[in-house]
Amino acid sequence: MRITRLLLLTLLILAIPAAAFAQLVVSVAIAPPALPVYVQPMAPDAGYLWTPGYWGYAGEGYFWVPGTWIQPPTVGLLWTPGYWGWGGSAFAWNGGYWGQQVGFYGGVNYGYGYGGVGYQGGRWQNGQFYYNRAANNVNVTNVHNVYNTTLINNTAVNHVSYNGGAGGVTARPTAAEETASREQHTPATSLQTQHERTASTNHALLASVNHGKPAIAATAKPGEFSGQGVVAAKQAGATYKAPANNAAETKAAAAKATEDKTAENNKAAETKATENKAAENNKAAETKATENKAAENNAAASRATENKAAENKATENKAAENNAAASRATENKAAENKAAENHAAATKATENKAAENKAAAARTNESKPAAPKPARAPAESAKEPTAHAQPAARPATAAHAQPAPRPAPATHAQPAPRPATAAKAQPASRPAPAAHAQPAPRPAPAAHAEPAPHPAAAVHAQPEKAAHTSGG
C-alpha cells in the first residue's frame, strides 16, 4: 500500500511543471536575516540590468547571493526579484523571473530601483535600455542612454528581507502585479543560476559566519567574486540573531516545515492532476466536437455535391431532350419541305406534261384535215338549229378538203376502225359534197361561216356522227 502511494506521489510530482518548483523550491522554519547595506558597483557597460542580492538557503543555513549586473535574455525584458514569504508554518522562497512587466516581489525594498513596488531604475525605449541615474551607478562616458528621476519609495525604508510572518512586510500584490504574474515569464539565465550556486559554496557568505554583513555584497558581473568589481557590505541591515541552539526545536521546526511543504506539494500535485485531467477531457471533448463537425461538414458537402451532380445530370438530360426534339422538329420540317417540294415538282411536272399533251393534241388537230360533213336531209336541217347547220353551208369546207394528198395526218388522226378515214381518203369520188353545196344561196349561214379558221372545233364536233352516218 505504501509503495502504491509513493508511486502515485511520484507521478503527481512529475506532473508539476518545473516553474512551480522554481517558485517554491525551499521552505525554512526560521526567517532570513535582514538585507545588508552596500553600494552598487558601476555598470560594466550599456545593456546590463541590475539584479539585487538576496539570502539563499542551503544545508548549512542562509547564505548571501551578491547583487550583480547581468544582460537580459531578450531585449525588452525586466527582472522581477525573488522573495521569501511566510506560508503559515514556514518561509518559502519565490524565485525571480524575466518578463515584460515587473511583478510582485513581496514588497521587499531591495534598493537601486526596487523600492518594494515596480521598478524605477530604468526603462526600455526603441530597443535600448535607458538608466535612471538616481537609482543606478553608471559611467556616462560609456553609457549615454540615461535620465534622472527622483526615486519614490512606497514603503518605509527598512531592510526586512521577507513578506508576512512576525516582523515581515505586509504588502499584497496590486492588480497590475497580479496581471504581470500571469503573463509569460522567462526563468533566470544560466549565468544567474551559476552565480547563486557559486555563492552557496562560499563559506564566507554564510549568515552564520558573516552575521548579516557579507564581505562580497555585490559584483560587477555574475560569478566574479574577486577583483575590482567586488563590493563589500557596509553594515548589516539589522542586528543578527542566530538561530536557536536547541537542536530538538530546530529539528522539529524543520520536520514541521517539511511536512507542510509535502502537504503543499501534494495538494499542488492533486490540483495540477485534476487540472490536467480536466484539460484532457476538455481537449477530448473539443476534438470529438471538431471531428463530429468535420463529419457533418463532409456529409453536407457530399450531399451538396450529389445534389449538384443530379441537377447537372437533369440539366444535361433536359438539354439532350431539347436538342433531340429540336433535331426531330428540324428533320420533320425538312421532310415536310422536301415532300412539299417533291409534290410541287410532281404537280408542276404533271401540269407541264398535261400542257405538253394538250399542245401536242392541239398541234395534231391543227394538222388533221377537216372531215367532210355528211349532207343532211332537208327535214333534219329544218329541225336543227341554224348554228349547227352552219358547217354544211361553209364553202370553205370544200376548200379544206384539198389537203387530201397528205395521207399521213389522215392516217394518224383516224384509227383504222373508223370508216370515215376511207371516205376522207377519196374525197374526189364522193358526189355527195357537191349535192350538199347547193344551199349556198342562203346568206345567213354564209355570215356564220367566219369561224372557219378554227379547224379543231369542226373536227371534234363530227367524229361520232360520221360513224353513225356511215352505219346508216
Residue 43 in this model has a pLDDT that exceeds 50: yes
Which region among 118-127, 240-249, 251-260, 462-471 has the lowest average model confidence (pLDDT)? 462-471
- Dihedral Cα 335, 340, 342, 346, nearest 10 deg: 160
Question: In whole angstroms, what is the distance from residue 260 CA to residue 49 CA?
Answer: 36
Average pLDDT of the residues in 393-420: 44
pLDDT band of 160, cuts 50, 70, 90 = very high
pLDDT band of 471, cuts 50, 70, 90 = very low
Average pLDDT of the residues in 427-455: 46
The alpha carbon of residue 359 and the mean position of all alpha carbons in its chain are separated, in whole angstroms, by: 87
Q: Give the position of cell 518559502.
A: 92
Q: Is 63 helix (H, G, I), strand (E, B) or coil?
A: strand
Angle separating helix axes 2-15 and 247-367, nearest 10 degrees: 60
pLDDT per position as a tens digit, 4-29:
443 443 343 333 333 333 444 567 88
pLDDT of residue 356: 84
Sheet holding 146-147, edge to edge: 122-125, 128-132, 146-147
Question: In whole angstroms, what is the distance from residue 414 CA to residue 345 CA?
Answer: 35
pLDDT per position as a tens digit, 349-384:
888 888 888 888 878 776 665 555 555 544 444 344
pLDDT per position as a tens digit, 323-353:
777 778 778 887 788 877 888 888 888 888 8
Mean pLDDT of the chain: 75
The alpha carbon of residue 329 and the mean position of all alpha carbons in its chain are separated, in whole angstroms, by: 46
pLDDT band of 194, cuts 50, 70, 90 = very high
Q: For the whole model, what pTM was predicted?
A: 0.51
pLDDT of residue 370: 53
Phi, psi torsion values for 216, nearest 5 degrees = -120, 90
Which region among 61-65, 145-149, 289-293 has the lowest average model confidence (pLDDT)? 289-293
